[in-house]
Amino acid sequence: MESSNFRPENWQAYLVILLLTLVVRLVLNARHRSPLANVPGPYFASVSRLCHAYHIFRGDNNTWTRALHERYGHFVRLAPNEVSVSHPDGPALILQAPLRKADWYRVFALPDYRYVNTPSLLDPKAKAVRARLFAPAFQLSNLLRAEPHFDAVIACLLDRLDEHAASGQPMDLNRYLSFAALDVAGEALFSRPLGFLAAGRDLGGHLAQSAALNRYAAVAGHFWPLHVLLVANPAVTWTGLLAGGHVLRTVRAALRRRWGDGGGDDKGDARFDVLAHWMRAQRENPDALSQRDVEAQVIITMSAASDTVSCAIQSFVYHMIANPPSWARARREIEAERARGFCQDRVVSYHDSQRLPYLRACVNEAVRVFGPSPMGLARMAPKGGLSIGDRHFPEGTTLSINPNVMQLSKECWGPDAGEWNPDRWFAEDISSKMKYWIAFGLGGNKCPGENLAQMELFKIAATLVRDYSFRQVDPENRWQWKAYITRVPHSWPVYVEKQSGHF
């Protein structure tokens, strides 16, 4: 009788072979037996999320995704169950419809999973209920009451610009615009700036910490269980290991003062600001909102407001410097309004900025060509699936729209989509294109702070164009940036020149 080749001592080798066989089978099933098998894309993206995560970590997810669409067309498989969509019908069918958000959005719960906020809520109905309680604080009429206080913050930015103009020294304008966005957010939320502009430096290393957190969170959202186990849990929050930083400490100190449980009470000194609105909503709806819910909303709003506005205003200045005719035309428009008695204050009022259609077109164009949102906005296909163009996606498929892809799409914006052209905003059909301008989102998940962001953008843009000129230290220099959850550029120092006779 022939002896068997099996030896008990070889069990490790057989186990390895068995495991490899299972892995290969899983990979082949993910690639070839998935209902998304015929959706084109990189091979490794179809069998693992790691390919997508790698490009997020590198900071080139948006350009990678755009290149994939240029190669493969309207539909690209980014992960085993995620398809990026650039079809013109995509924004309306995916973003404007009340679809459940993808699990990735849970990463916005900061500092841990207990701190649920509107971005981290996945169910559209639950999100809508919560949003209705928070939204009134961002109504334009409420924000306009605080405009003099915003002007005081922006005036501090202008003081810093004047100092550099007088000294002739180069200025890291990107940092000061980020400081201004942080301070305005603090003023809007709890009636006090965070102190960045007054100090003239990065307090607590916030900008560096924010970039690192941005990078980590953009990846960690795709690995939620591991993220909760290692980082986003009450134990880590209790230790304070990840709860430091000037911004978070300032936010929590303001909340303690308002709740009246320590550190004094500034309720008498504060305006009826955003936090006051939310505290009232919590008192009137204790079953729907807890104090922790309010704290969670303040933390995420501070982060979102500062990063998105900083990117948008930097994009405006950078592209206007690169296109001097646009700067000159916008200045002529402002001077014409000054001759009529408008735009006279040191900081241009929001009301007066709305009299400047070309300047507003330049702001919109800057956000279109280089917006603050580089991640795909991901939703889940509903019961019965979803058809887009000539494709049908089964229930549970993750479908994402990348703002960078849609806002530079030649199919949506015309053959000059990749070029700077503010005049496109005066075209007769521009209203039909607004569904492709998704810097602040669409539908029920549109950014609730859009009014604050646009108010700040238009006021700062008009004031800078009226009173200053900028030129890069190195005219050939191209700014640097990384695209994580938000995209904030850096490393483009400028010389500042003050217009004679202006304030």
Span 403-431, pLDDT tens digits:
999 999 999 999 999 999 999 999 999 99
Biggest distance spanned by C-alpha atoms of the chain: 109
Residue length of the chain: 503
Q: Is residue 213 in some structural domain?
A: yes
Residue 22 resides in a domain = no
Beta bridge partners of 85: 75
Taking a C-beta distance cutoff of 8 angstroms, is the pair 305, 181 a contact?
Answer: yes
Domain count of the chain? 1
Between CA 309 and CA 316 the distance in angstroms is 11
pTM of the model: 0.89
- How confident is the model over 289-344, as pLDDT tens digits? 999 999 999 988 887 777 888 999 999 999 999 999 999 999 999 999 999 999 99
Which letter does DSSP use for residue 474 in this model? S
Domain contains 12: no
Query: Who contacts 334 (Cβ-Cβ below 8 Å, separation ≥6)?
Result: 343, 348, 356, 359, 462, 465, 466
- Among candidate residues 477, 474, 493, the one with its CA nearest the CA of residue 171: 493
Buried b (16+ CB within 10 A) or exposed e, 165-200: beeeeebebbbbbbbbbbbbbbbbbbbbbbbbbeee
| Residue 17, Cβ density class (10 Å: 0-12 exposed, 13-18 middle, ≥19 buried) | exposed
Within-domain flag for 20: no
**3-state percent breakdown (helix, strand, coil) of the chain, nearest 5:** 60, 10, 35
In this model, does residue 1 exceed pLDDT 50? Answer: no
pLDDT of residue 249: 76
Closest listed residue to residue 120, CA positions, set 132, 101, 106: 106
Q: Cα 206 to the chain's mean position, in Å?
A: 17
> 76, 69 in Cβ contact below 8 A?
yes
Q: Is residue 85 part of a domain?
A: yes
CA distance to 349, 370, 444, 456, per residue, from 367 (Å): 21, 5, 21, 14
Q: What is the pLDDT of residues 46-66, one digit of tens each?
A: 889 999 999 999 999 999 999
Q: What pLDDT does residue 481 have?
A: 86
Model confidence at 266, in pLDDT bands (50, 70, 90)? very low
Q: How many CA atoms lie within 13 A of 121 on its CB side?
A: 18
Residue 55 lies in a domain: yes
Compare 347 and 303 and report the one with higher pLDDT: 347
Least confident of 165-169, 253-257, 330-334, 451-455: 253-257
Give residue 264's pLDDT band: very low, low, confident or very high (50, 70, 90).
very low
Q: Which two tokens stand for residue 253?
A: 């100190």
Secondary structure (H, E, C), 381-439 = CCCCCEEECCEEECCCCEEEECHHHHHCCHHHHCCCCCCCCHHHHHCCCHHHHHHHCCC
Structure tokens belonging to residue 498: 């003050």
- Which domain does 91 fall in, by range? 28-498
Position 18 in a domain: no
Confidence check: pLDDT of 267 > 70: no
Q: What is the DSSP letter of 103?
A: G
CA angle 456, 362, 73 (to 5 degrees): 110
Instruction: Tell me the CATH number at 414.
Output: 1.10.630.10
Residue 437 covered by a domain: yes
DSSP per-residue letters across 219-278 = HHGGGHHHHHHHTSSHHHHHHTTTS-SHHHHHHHHHHHHHHTSSS---TTTS-S-HHHHH
